[in-house]
A and B are shown apart, each in its own frame.
Chain A
Amino acid sequence: NAGVTQTPKFRVLKTGQSMTLLCAQDMNHEYMYWYRQDPGMGLRLIHYSVGEGTTAKGEVPDGYNVSRLKKQNFLLGLESAAPSQTSVYFCASSYSDRGPENEKLFFGSGTQLSVL
Protein backbone atom coordinates (compact mmCIF):
# COMPACT_ATOMS: atom_id res chain seq x y z
CA ASN A 1 0.00 0.00 0.00
CA ALA A 2 1.94 3.00 -1.31
CA GLY A 3 -0.57 5.74 -0.42
CA VAL A 4 -0.08 8.87 -2.54
CA THR A 5 2.84 8.85 -4.96
CA GLN A 6 4.10 11.90 -6.83
CA THR A 7 6.46 11.87 -9.78
CA PRO A 8 8.92 13.38 -10.40
CA LYS A 9 10.40 14.44 -7.04
CA PHE A 10 12.60 17.15 -8.56
CA ARG A 11 12.56 18.97 -11.86
CA VAL A 12 14.29 21.98 -13.39
CA LEU A 13 12.64 23.70 -16.35
CA LYS A 14 13.49 26.59 -18.58
CA THR A 15 10.96 29.37 -19.03
CA GLY A 16 8.42 28.39 -21.65
CA GLN A 17 8.90 24.63 -21.33
CA SER A 18 5.99 22.36 -20.49
CA MET A 19 5.70 19.45 -18.12
CA THR A 20 3.22 17.21 -16.34
CA LEU A 21 3.27 16.19 -12.70
CA LEU A 22 1.68 12.86 -11.92
CA CYS A 23 -0.15 11.96 -8.73
CA ALA A 24 -1.30 8.41 -8.11
CA GLN A 25 -3.19 7.04 -5.11
CA ASP A 26 -4.07 3.45 -4.30
CA MET A 27 -6.63 4.09 -1.54
CA ASN A 28 -9.68 4.35 -3.82
CA HIS A 29 -10.18 7.97 -2.79
CA GLU A 30 -12.76 10.08 -4.56
CA TYR A 31 -11.23 13.49 -3.90
CA MET A 32 -7.83 14.63 -5.10
CA TYR A 33 -6.09 18.00 -4.74
CA TRP A 34 -3.07 19.86 -6.05
CA TYR A 35 -1.41 22.47 -3.81
CA ARG A 36 1.66 24.62 -4.17
CA GLN A 37 3.72 25.72 -1.21
CA ASP A 38 5.87 28.82 -1.16
CA PRO A 39 7.74 30.28 1.84
CA GLY A 40 5.39 32.24 4.07
CA MET A 41 2.37 31.45 1.87
CA GLY A 42 1.24 28.16 3.28
CA LEU A 43 -0.43 25.66 0.99
CA ARG A 44 -2.47 27.18 -1.81
CA LEU A 45 -5.02 25.14 -3.70
CA ILE A 46 -4.43 25.05 -7.46
CA HIS A 47 -7.08 22.64 -8.75
CA TYR A 48 -9.00 19.75 -7.31
CA SER A 49 -11.26 16.89 -8.34
CA VAL A 50 -14.24 15.31 -6.62
CA GLY A 51 -14.36 12.30 -8.90
CA GLU A 52 -13.19 10.69 -12.11
CA GLY A 53 -13.71 13.01 -15.06
CA THR A 54 -14.36 16.11 -12.91
CA THR A 55 -12.08 19.01 -12.02
CA ALA A 56 -12.52 22.40 -10.39
CA LYS A 57 -10.46 25.53 -9.87
CA GLY A 58 -8.88 26.39 -6.57
CA GLU A 59 -7.33 29.64 -5.34
CA VAL A 60 -4.45 29.91 -7.84
CA PRO A 61 -5.40 28.03 -11.04
CA ASP A 62 -3.87 30.35 -13.66
CA GLY A 63 -1.09 28.79 -15.70
CA TYR A 64 -2.06 25.23 -14.75
CA ASN A 65 -4.32 22.57 -16.19
CA VAL A 66 -5.43 19.26 -14.70
CA SER A 67 -7.01 16.01 -15.77
CA ARG A 68 -8.60 13.11 -13.89
CA LEU A 69 -9.16 10.45 -16.53
CA LYS A 70 -8.77 7.62 -14.05
CA LYS A 71 -9.92 7.65 -10.45
CA GLN A 72 -6.47 6.83 -9.10
CA ASN A 73 -4.56 9.46 -11.10
CA PHE A 74 -4.58 13.26 -11.05
CA LEU A 75 -2.29 15.08 -13.47
CA LEU A 76 -1.10 18.68 -13.16
CA GLY A 77 0.17 20.33 -16.33
CA LEU A 78 2.21 23.45 -16.92
CA GLU A 79 1.88 24.44 -20.58
CA SER A 80 4.43 27.26 -20.57
CA ALA A 81 6.42 27.39 -17.35
CA ALA A 82 7.26 30.73 -15.74
CA PRO A 83 9.73 31.56 -12.93
CA SER A 84 6.71 32.43 -10.71
CA GLN A 85 5.79 28.74 -10.82
CA THR A 86 8.95 27.77 -8.96
CA SER A 87 7.52 26.05 -5.90
CA VAL A 88 7.00 22.79 -4.06
CA TYR A 89 3.91 21.00 -5.34
CA PHE A 90 1.91 18.63 -3.18
CA CYS A 91 -0.82 16.26 -4.22
CA ALA A 92 -3.37 15.05 -1.68
CA SER A 93 -6.35 12.72 -1.66
CA SER A 94 -9.23 11.86 0.63
CA TYR A 95 -12.45 9.91 0.93
CA SER A 96 -15.66 11.61 -0.07
CA ASP A 97 -17.63 10.39 2.92
CA ARG A 98 -16.85 12.93 5.65
CA GLY A 99 -17.59 10.57 8.48
CA PRO A 100 -15.21 9.88 11.37
CA GLU A 101 -11.71 8.89 10.25
CA ASN A 102 -12.50 9.95 6.68
CA GLU A 103 -11.86 13.64 6.91
CA LYS A 104 -8.11 13.61 6.61
CA LEU A 105 -6.08 14.47 3.54
CA PHE A 106 -3.26 12.10 2.64
CA PHE A 107 -0.33 13.90 1.05
CA GLY A 108 2.33 12.83 -1.39
CA SER A 109 5.97 13.60 -0.66
CA GLY A 110 6.03 16.62 -2.95
CA THR A 111 7.72 17.79 -6.16
CA GLN A 112 10.36 20.50 -6.05
CA LEU A 113 10.06 22.47 -9.31
CA SER A 114 12.47 25.18 -10.36
CA VAL A 115 11.81 27.32 -13.43
CA LEU A 116 14.82 29.25 -14.68
Chain B
Amino acid sequence: GQSLEQPSEVTAVEGAIVQINCTYQTSGFYGLSWYQQHDGGAPTFLSYNALDGLEETGRFSSFLSRSDSYGYLLLQELQMKDSASYFCAVEGGYQKVTFGTGTKLQVIP
Protein backbone atom coordinates (compact mmCIF):
# COMPACT_ATOMS: atom_id res chain seq x y z
CA GLY B 1 0.00 0.00 0.00
CA GLN B 2 0.86 3.63 0.03
CA SER B 3 0.87 6.10 2.92
CA LEU B 4 1.95 9.71 3.21
CA GLU B 5 2.54 11.82 6.31
CA GLN B 6 2.52 15.59 6.56
CA PRO B 7 1.88 18.03 9.40
CA SER B 8 -1.76 18.87 9.91
CA GLU B 9 -1.34 22.62 10.48
CA VAL B 10 1.31 25.28 9.99
CA THR B 11 1.17 28.99 10.81
CA ALA B 12 3.55 31.52 9.29
CA VAL B 13 3.90 35.28 9.02
CA GLU B 14 3.27 37.22 5.84
CA GLY B 15 6.53 37.74 3.95
CA ALA B 16 8.27 34.83 5.66
CA ILE B 17 9.31 31.40 4.36
CA VAL B 18 7.57 28.15 5.31
CA GLN B 19 8.46 24.53 4.63
CA ILE B 20 5.88 21.72 4.53
CA ASN B 21 7.34 18.23 4.83
CA CYS B 22 6.05 14.98 3.42
CA THR B 23 7.28 11.46 4.09
CA TYR B 24 5.91 8.54 2.16
CA GLN B 25 5.83 4.77 1.94
CA THR B 26 4.88 3.33 -1.40
CA SER B 27 5.07 0.22 -3.51
CA GLY B 28 6.54 1.60 -6.69
CA PHE B 29 7.41 5.27 -7.10
CA TYR B 30 7.22 7.53 -10.12
CA GLY B 31 7.00 10.97 -8.60
CA LEU B 32 5.92 13.30 -5.80
CA SER B 33 3.47 16.10 -6.52
CA TRP B 34 2.14 19.04 -4.53
CA TYR B 35 -1.36 20.51 -4.75
CA GLN B 36 -2.97 23.58 -3.25
CA GLN B 37 -6.60 23.72 -2.20
CA HIS B 38 -8.44 26.79 -0.96
CA ASP B 39 -11.51 26.30 1.22
CA GLY B 40 -14.46 25.26 -0.92
CA GLY B 41 -12.31 24.84 -4.02
CA ALA B 42 -10.72 22.05 -5.99
CA PRO B 43 -7.09 21.02 -5.66
CA THR B 44 -4.76 22.67 -8.15
CA PHE B 45 -1.35 21.43 -9.21
CA LEU B 46 1.76 23.21 -7.91
CA SER B 47 4.82 21.09 -8.66
CA TYR B 48 6.20 17.65 -9.43
CA ASN B 49 9.49 15.90 -8.63
CA ALA B 50 10.48 12.66 -10.30
CA LEU B 51 14.19 12.91 -9.52
CA ASP B 52 16.15 13.96 -6.45
CA GLY B 53 16.71 17.64 -6.03
CA LEU B 54 14.99 20.98 -6.02
CA GLU B 55 12.41 22.23 -8.52
CA GLU B 56 11.63 25.94 -8.49
CA THR B 57 8.50 27.62 -9.81
CA GLY B 58 8.31 31.26 -8.84
CA ARG B 59 7.81 31.62 -5.09
CA PHE B 60 7.28 27.88 -4.69
CA SER B 61 9.99 25.21 -4.65
CA SER B 62 9.73 21.49 -4.11
CA PHE B 63 12.41 19.06 -3.04
CA LEU B 64 12.66 15.28 -3.27
CA SER B 65 14.99 12.71 -1.75
CA ARG B 66 14.05 9.29 -3.08
CA SER B 67 16.51 7.48 -0.82
CA ASP B 68 14.86 9.03 2.25
CA SER B 69 11.28 8.78 0.88
CA TYR B 70 10.98 12.45 1.77
CA GLY B 71 10.04 15.67 0.13
CA TYR B 72 9.06 19.20 1.02
CA LEU B 73 7.31 22.23 -0.39
CA LEU B 74 8.94 25.58 0.25
CA LEU B 75 6.88 28.74 0.00
CA GLN B 76 8.76 32.03 -0.01
CA GLU B 77 7.59 35.61 0.42
CA LEU B 78 4.35 34.38 1.90
CA GLN B 79 1.19 36.23 0.97
CA MET B 80 -2.19 36.16 2.65
CA LYS B 81 -3.62 34.40 -0.42
CA ASP B 82 -1.28 31.46 0.26
CA SER B 83 -3.54 30.50 3.19
CA ALA B 84 -4.85 27.15 2.00
CA SER B 85 -4.39 23.42 2.41
CA TYR B 86 -1.40 21.79 0.75
CA PHE B 87 -1.31 18.13 -0.21
CA CYS B 88 1.57 15.95 -1.26
CA ALA B 89 0.71 13.09 -3.61
CA VAL B 90 2.65 10.05 -4.74
CA GLU B 91 2.27 8.28 -8.03
CA GLY B 92 3.08 4.66 -7.29
CA GLY B 93 2.59 1.37 -9.03
CA TYR B 94 -0.34 0.78 -11.41
CA GLN B 95 -0.74 4.53 -12.00
CA LYS B 96 -2.28 5.01 -8.54
CA VAL B 97 -2.02 8.57 -7.26
CA THR B 98 -2.32 8.68 -3.46
CA PHE B 99 -2.68 11.91 -1.47
CA GLY B 100 -1.54 12.81 2.02
CA THR B 101 -4.02 14.12 4.58
CA GLY B 102 -3.02 17.70 3.89
CA THR B 103 -1.40 20.61 5.73
CA LYS B 104 -3.52 23.63 6.52
CA LEU B 105 -1.36 26.74 6.19
CA GLN B 106 -2.46 29.90 7.92
CA VAL B 107 -0.63 33.08 6.95
CA ILE B 108 -0.93 35.82 9.55
CA PRO B 109 -0.11 39.54 9.16
Interface residues, chain A, CB within 8 Å of chain B? 31, 33, 35, 40-45, 48, 50, 56, 58-59, 90, 92, 94, 96, 98, 103-110
Q: Is B97 an interface residue (CB 8 A)?
A: yes
> Does B30 contact A33, Cβ atoms closer than 8 Å?
no
- Contact between A107 and B98, CB atoms less than 8 A apart: no
Interface-facing stretch out of B12-20, B64-72, B87-95: B87-95
Nearest Cβ in chain B — how far from A97, in angstroms?
12
Can you list 11 A-B pairs with a CB-CB distance of less than 8 A? A40-B101, A43-B89, A43-B102, A90-B42, A94-B97, A98-B50, A103-B31, A103-B50, A105-B33, A105-B89, A106-B45
A90 touches B43 (CB 8 A): yes
In the complex, whether B96 has a CB less than 8 A from a CB of chain A is yes
Neighbouring B residues of A104 by C-beta, 8 Å = 33, 45, 48
State which of B31, B50, B94, B100 has its C-beta within 8 Å of the C-beta of A42: B100
